[in-house]
A and B are shown apart, each in its own frame.
Chain A
Amino acid sequence: METLKRQYWKILSIILLIYTVYAGFNGQVPRQPILNETIRNLYFHVTMWFTMIFLLGTSVYHSIQYLRKSDLKSDLISSTYVEVGMVFAVLGLITGSIWAKFTWGDWWTNDPKLNSVAIGLLIYLAYSLVRSSMPDEMQKARISSVYNIFAFVIFMVLIWILPRMTDSLHPGNGGNPAFSKMDLDNRMRMVFYPAIIGWTLLGFWIAQLRIRIKNIEQQNEL
């Protein structure tokens, strides 16, 4: 009973994701020019970015915890959240790329949001390089925590401020049909919000499993 109480959110995640897939493919969606049926990608593409931002935000929280308390566990947690966040970033890029092929006619277009995410991936690849270049555990944890916090700030500027300054092909930017108050009707909201929660919980679940595996690996080494 005690374990069930702690695991209920995993069950919630599974239920929500089954609901997302079922209702996402079968539910009613508004007919939009250009978008048509691909509007369903909202549940599988946009949610990836939400999950990524939540995961990276949690990682920054643990980096701050490390800098405050110098507990190596926080560093392990923080770096794992970055890893899982990057998995979701790649998934977001792939789902976006497939969607772009059918709506914009190309796998990769010169769009500020796409470019920003590509730069974001570079920023976090540099993070893993920084980690591998430090021989000392404590030093690695301290320096990568500092870099992680700084990178997150720059990344937020990159994806929230810059795309708004130029026209984007994305729905909602530059006069394209979008999921704004007028367009995103209540039927889609009923799937979209649960989808965000479901994918986010799944992300945290994966991260927790990774953290537990890493902990066991560390104990075996000792």
Chain B
Amino acid sequence: MALTEIFVLIRKEMQLEWRNKYAIHGLVLYLAATIFICYLSFKAKQQSIHPIMWNTLFWIILLFSAVNAVGKSFTQESANRNIFYYTFAKPESVIFSKIIYNTLVMLGVSLIGIFFYSWVMGNPVGNMPLYLISLILGAIGFASTLSLVAGIAAQGENSATLMAVMSFPLIIPLLLLLLKLSKSALDGISLSENWDEIAILGALDIIVIVFSGILFPYIWKH
């Protein structure tokens, strides 16, 4: 069954992560260090930060963490082991398991991030539930877009550069929509007035996931 296959693959990802904890520790440390640098360069110097800048800065931190976290999806395991997966798992299961796993990672990163970020930088958000919705939609969107891009980049020779060059322009539509939604949350606008933005973001997430499912088999086939 495809579903059980996806679950097995997700469990494998988690076990791998659990065995060499340095990757997830590195990610959290990366996040904490970036946030602290932002604190030192903005808040500590000027005593205050404009709410719009607060929001933009946070999304940029999340974007860079996402590129780092998702970018290693296909490069951390050896090519031989990828061939081994190729023999028994369907490519759709592989990409969907990566997307789900990366979404979980990004949700964790977003939540730890917003907690730590609010702690040192203050929290001007007016409508926190809506902000959390934008974080969830952002986690899904980042994970799905970047998983496919990571698959493409892993095929090239200089995959770190390729990953950055491809993912930044491709992620901009998503990032602009997220900034707009989270700006509304920042201003304390109620959920019912933002259904349009949420629907468009959800639709974009679904489009990206569907196309990942269609296109990934062609990358996977060597």
Instruction: List residues of A whose CB falls within 8 A of some B CB.
Output: 67, 119-120, 122-123, 126, 129-130, 133-135, 139, 142-143, 145-147, 149-151, 153-154, 157-158, 161-162, 165-166
Contacts and interface: CB of A to CB of B under 8 A. Distances in A.
B148 interface: yes
A161 to B, nearest CB: 7
A119 B169 contact: yes
For the complex of A and B, 4 pairs with smallest distance between CB atoms: A122-B169, A133-B156, A123-B169, A146-B215
Contact of B173 (A129, A130, A158): A158
Contacts of A142: 218-219, 221
Contacts of A133: 156-158, 162
Contacts of B173: 119, 154, 157-158, 161-162
B148 A150 contact: yes
A147 B221 CA distance: 15
A130 B162 contact: yes
Interface in B130-176: 148, 152, 155-158, 162, 165-166, 168-170, 172-173, 176
B44 interface: no
Q: In this complex, which of B155, B169, B176, B177 has the most chain A Cβ atoms within 10 angstroms of its Cβ?
A: B169
B157 A147 contact: no
B180 interface: yes
Given A126-B165, A134-B157, A135-B157, 16 more contacts: A122-B169, A126-B166, A126-B170, A129-B162, A130-B156, A130-B162, A142-B219, A143-B155, A146-B215, A150-B211, A153-B207, A153-B211, A154-B170, A157-B173, A157-B204, A158-B173
Nearest to B167: A126
Nearest to B221: A142
Contact of A149 (B156, B176, B211): B211
B214 to A, nearest CB: 8
B79 interface: no
Contact of A134 (B156, B170, B176, B218): B156
A157 B169 contact: no
25 contacts: A119-B173, A120-B169, A123-B170, A126-B165, A126-B170, A129-B165, A130-B162, A130-B166, A133-B157, A133-B162, A134-B155, A139-B155, A142-B219, A143-B152, A143-B155, A143-B156, A145-B218, A146-B152, A146-B215, A147-B152, A150-B215, A151-B170, A157-B207, A158-B173, A165-B177
Contacts of B157: 133-135
A151 B152 CA distance: 12
Contacts of A150: 148, 170, 211, 215
B89 interface: no
B163 to A, nearest CB: 10
A150 B173 CA distance: 13
A162 B176 contact: yes
A156 B156 CA distance: 26
Q: In this complex, which of B157, B162, B218 has the most chain A Cβ atoms within 10 angstroms of its Cβ?
A: B218
A28 to B, nearest CB: 40
B16 interface: no
A25 B37 CA distance: 57
B112 interface: no
A80 B174 CA distance: 28
A146 B176 contact: no
A81 to B, nearest CB: 19
Nearest to A161: B200
A130 B153 CA distance: 8
Contacts of B211: 149-150, 153
Contacts of B152: 130, 143, 146-147
